[in-house]
Each structure stands twice: as C-alpha cells, then as structure tokens.
Amino acid sequence: MLHAGRGIVLGFIKYGESSVIARIFTEKHGLVPFMVQGVFRKKARISASQLQPLTLLDMVYYFRDNKQVQNIKEVRANPPLNIIQSNVVKSSLAIFASDVLKQLLKNTGSEPDLFHEVYAQVVALNGAEEASAYWPHHFLIEVAKTQGFAPMQEAGGRFFHLGEGKFTNIPMGNNDTMQADETALFVQLLERRNETANVPRDLRNRLLDKLISYCAYHSGGFAELKSLSVIRNILR
C-alpha cells in the first residue's frame, strides 16, 4: 500500500555498487528499512545527500506488513537542514542522536511521541546560532520522557539511582548511581537552569556517560556508541 508521511533518516548501509538500505524513523510505521537504488549515480532520483543522519523528509513510500525491506517512491527534504549538514559540531551531534535512536527503536511500530520530540529537537538544532555543549544531555533526557522512564523529580536526594530512576541519599556504587556532583548538574539540566557555564568538561562527560547508561538500562541495553568519542572531542 502507498503511504505519504514524514520520516527522520537514521543512516544507511551500502547494498551493491550504487544502492543502499536506509533506516528511516517514520511517523506512521516507526523504524523502517528501505531499499533505495542508484543513490550514488549522477542523476539519482534519491541522492545520498538526502539520506544523511537526521535529515527530515516528506515521503511517499510503499509499506507491506509481510515485507522486511520496503520501497520508497519519492522523498523531499522538509525543512532542508543546510546548517546541520555544513557544521561539523551539529552534524556530529546528528550522528550521535541517530546512533541513540538506532538502539532505542526495535521495529515495534509507530512511536509518535518520540517522533515528534526528535523532529522538534532537530529543527531547533538546525536553527540554533550555536550548538550547546549540553545538547546531547537534553536529547537523552527528553527521549527518556517519551519512552516512559522519565526521572522522578521528587525533592531531596544527593544521588540519582539509575535503575530505580529516582533520587536517593544512599549511594549504591559508581555504576548504579550518579555521584553528588553529577546529580547536582543533572538537576540543573532537568530544571533548565543556566548555572552550567563553568562546569568542568570532565563532569559534563561523566554525566553524559551516566545518562547513556540510564537510557540503556531502561531500554534493554545499548551497543557501543561509536559517535560518543567524537562529540567528547568537539564539544568544549
């Protein structure tokens, strides 16, 4: 059946000489693999540049429940993400976000809350004058909210327990708990306060590691995020 709808590209792998299998997070059907032929040819109907991570698409595509790989009829980038694609920092953040989404999405059908949140964050990243060093932290926090494991923000507690998703005054080991300085920064980000400008880079990176562990714990586990080392190097 032919469908029209929006999609968020997560990336592609080469298939043969000029074709790819693109993984696209669709608004209607969730994560879907699509065969796209001839993307590397000069007069390609759909080009590789339209399939870069986090590209936002208006799509017309075929979808059948009994097919593992679907087909695309036509796509149009809307809105075009010229800033993300031409900015090293923003394009690296896009790859990080797409890596996270690949881990979270399990081909389980439509996820409209997650789709709309990611769509809005991509538009905001493209339009921002400068990418915040805390963009990946906020991305993970907002994604967690759409997936049903938002942190419980009750008052009190110097530590945040990853498994229980709540604050506590009892530390339970480095791997299971955000330490006091990590928790304090975490609370600032949750409350969208602005006292984060002079935070040491090491603390920011440690908190990001804990947020990744938190999302992995509550979603069934993550493979290694290869883009993590890149954004650690480029975000000052």
**Helix 180-190 vs helix 135-146: angle between axes, to the nearest 10 degrees?**
70
CB atoms within 10 A of CB 33: 16
Nearest CA to 54 out of 85, 89, 12, 8 is that of 8
Which strands form 159-161's sheet, in the order they lie side by side? Answer: 166-168, 159-161, 177-178
Question: Do residues 92 and 230 make contact, with C-beta atoms less than 8 angstroms apart?
Answer: yes
Q: What is the pLDDT along the chain (236 residues), one digit of tens a residue?
A: 899 999 999 999 999 888 999 999 999 999 999 999 988 887 888 988 899 999 999 999 999 988 999 999 999 999 988 889 899 999 999 999 999 999 999 767 899 999 999 999 999 999 998 899 999 999 999 999 999 998 876 657 899 999 889 898 887 777 789 999 999 999 999 987 765 667 899 999 999 999 999 999 998 888 889 999 999 988 87
- What are phi and psi for residue 104, nearest 5 degrees? -75, -40
Count of all residues that appear for the chain in the document: 236
- Answer whether CATH 3.40.710.10 is correct for domain 2-82: no
Alpha helices per DSSP H over 69-219: 82-86, 88-104, 112-127, 135-146, 180-190, 201-219
Domain ranges of the chain: 2-82, 83-234
Give the bridge partners for 26, in sequence order: 7, 30
Task: Look at the domain 83-234 and name its fold.
Answer: de novo design (two linked rop proteins) (1.20.1440)
Query: Which distant-in-sequence residues (6+ apart) come within 8 Å of 45 by Cβ?
Result: 38, 74
Residue 214: the pLDDT is 94
Residue 155: the pLDDT is 59
Residue 236: the pLDDT is 74
